Amino acid sequence: MIDTYRHKGLRKKLAEIVAKKGIKDTNVLAAIETIPRHLFIPDNALHKYAYEDKPFPIGAGQTISQPYTVAFQTELLDLKPRDKVLEIGTGSGYQTAVLLEMGAKVFSIERQKALFDRTKELLPKLSYNTKLFYGDGYVGLPTFAPFDKVIVTAGAPYIPEDLLKQLKIGGILVIPVDEGDSQRMKKIIKLAENKFETEDLGLFRFVPLLKEKGRD
């Protein structure tokens, strides 16, 4: 769990790279500059690459998302301080940390036990205190709903109805949708109980959002 000046320098550069690719939200960029991404990557041999703008394996067949993608999705959430955010796909916890750095109150769900256990231990060590749940993201967290924002960090074959239901009026869902190996990034604003406005923000590649029946 070592963070050095070299790491700090590298993530300042990473924030610059992400800004050059088009991210404007200064709070998102500040979060990237602050968070020790290498500590979210379990394989120490990969730590020297941690500040490249790339995804990396985190075990259980999953990846920590590319920083640009994390920044892009986060910017789309249009976060306000104290927003209550539901995250589907905790994975390494890096996206969770970005949301927390930006002052959100985060509820995050992960369906792979090994990743859930590891991240539940890691985040408090880095002084990130939040609510993590081992469960199925398709059903969200009805007991904690409604949420100001919902972010899905795995490729969903369709938009889960429950996630739309658990959004406040005026709330935003950011979700990559499609069944193939690439997805369209959608930003969905809930205008009224059954009225939504959808914006398509282009092509991305995510690991798939897994169904409950494959649970380990």
**Choice between 7 and 116, CB closer to ligand SAH:** 116
Q: Does 163 bind ligand SAH (CB under 6 A)?
A: no
Which one among 18, 38, 41, 62 touches ligand SAH, defined by CB under 6 A? 62
Does residue 65 have an active-site annotation? yes
State which of positions 118-157 bind ligand SAH (CB under 6 A).
136-138, 153-154
| Token duo for residue 30 | 């500040």
Pairing status of strand 147-152 against strand 84-88? parallel
Nearest approach in angstroms of CB 208 to ligand SAH is 7
Beta bridge partners of 84: 105
Cβ-Cβ contacts under 8 Å for 134 (sequence gap 6 or more): 109, 110, 111, 113, 116
**Choice between 61 and 170, CB closer to ligand SAH:** 61
| Token duo for residue 46 | 């990969």
Cβ-Cβ contacts under 8 Å for 171 (sequence gap 6 or more): 146, 147, 148, 149, 150, 189, 190
Radius of gyration for the chain, computed over Cα atoms and rounded to the nearest angstrom:
16
Nearest approach in angstroms of CB 191 to ligand SAH is 26
* Span of 15-23, 83-91, 170-178, 183-191 interacting with ligand SAH by CB under 6 A: 83-91
Nearest approach in angstroms of CB 192 to ligand SAH is 27
| Token duo for residue 31 | 């979060």
* Span of 99-107, 167-175, 195-203, 207-215 interacting with ligand SAH by CB under 6 A: 207-215
Which one among 28, 50, 88, 172 touches ligand SAH, defined by CB under 6 A? 88
| Token duo for residue 177 | 């949708």
Nearest approach in angstroms of CB 160 to ligand SAH is 9
Nearest to 159 by CA among 187, 132, 134, 135: 187
Q: Return the number of other C-beta atoms located less than 10 Å from residue 126's C-beta.
A: 16
Give me the amino acid identity at 148: D
| Token duo for residue 202 | 């282009």
* Span of 22-30, 43-51, 105-113, 141-149 interacting with ligand SAH by CB under 6 A: 105-113
* Span of 13-21, 31-39, 92-100, 180-188 interacting with ligand SAH by CB under 6 A: 92-100
Which residue ranges make up the site for ligand SAH (CB under 6 A)? 62-65, 88-89, 91-92, 94-95, 109-112, 115, 136-138, 153-154, 207, 209-210
Which amino acids are annotated catalytic? Answer: 65
